[in-house]
């Protein structure tokens, strides 16, 4: 009987392999065993949280975008898409 109690204790202390956790960088949900690999492969030590400068820059870009012609908007979208494709996009 003592062996059964020991086995039950060991099972209770072993973390579940299927525990679902949230990535603190991108907010997506992953199996706990995969989370470290996900962060290393997807985020590579980068912090993706927008800074105050990023927010201000986005607002500036949007204001400029509203001022350009429809033809220039199409060209800008094409170039941004090409840039995004080369960099691998986001998470």
pTM of the prediction?
0.40
- Strand ranges in 1-91 using DSSP code E only, listed in sequence order: 20-22, 29-31
Same domain, 1 and 33: yes
Same domain, 40 and 62: no
Q: Give the pLDDT of residue 77.
A: 93
Same domain, 10 and 29: yes
Same domain, 74 and 91: yes
pLDDT digits (tens, 9 = 90+) for 47-88: 656 677 778 888 999 999 999 999 999 999 999 898 877 765
Same domain, 4 and 43: yes
Number of domains in the chain: 2
Same domain, 3 and 36: yes
| Cα(32)–Cα(23) distance, integer angstroms | 9
| Cα(26)–Cα(48) distance, integer angstroms | 7
Helix (H, G, I), strand (E, B) or coil at 69: coil
**Domain containing 66: what range?**
50-91
Residue 2 has pLDDT above 50, yes or no: no
- Angle (CA) 14-30-52 rounded to 5° is 125
């Amino acid at each position: 009987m003592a062996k059964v109690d020991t086995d039950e204790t060991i099972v209770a202390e072993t973390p579940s392999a299927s525990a679902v956790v949230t990535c603190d960088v991108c907010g997506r949900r992953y199996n706990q065993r995969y989370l470290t690999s996900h962060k290393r492969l997807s985020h590579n030590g980068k912090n993706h949280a927008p800074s105050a400068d990023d927010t201000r820059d986005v607002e500036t870009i949007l204001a400029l975008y509203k001022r350009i012609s429809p033809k220039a908007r199409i060209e800008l979208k094409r170039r941004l898409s090409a840039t995004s494709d080369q960099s691998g996009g986001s998470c």
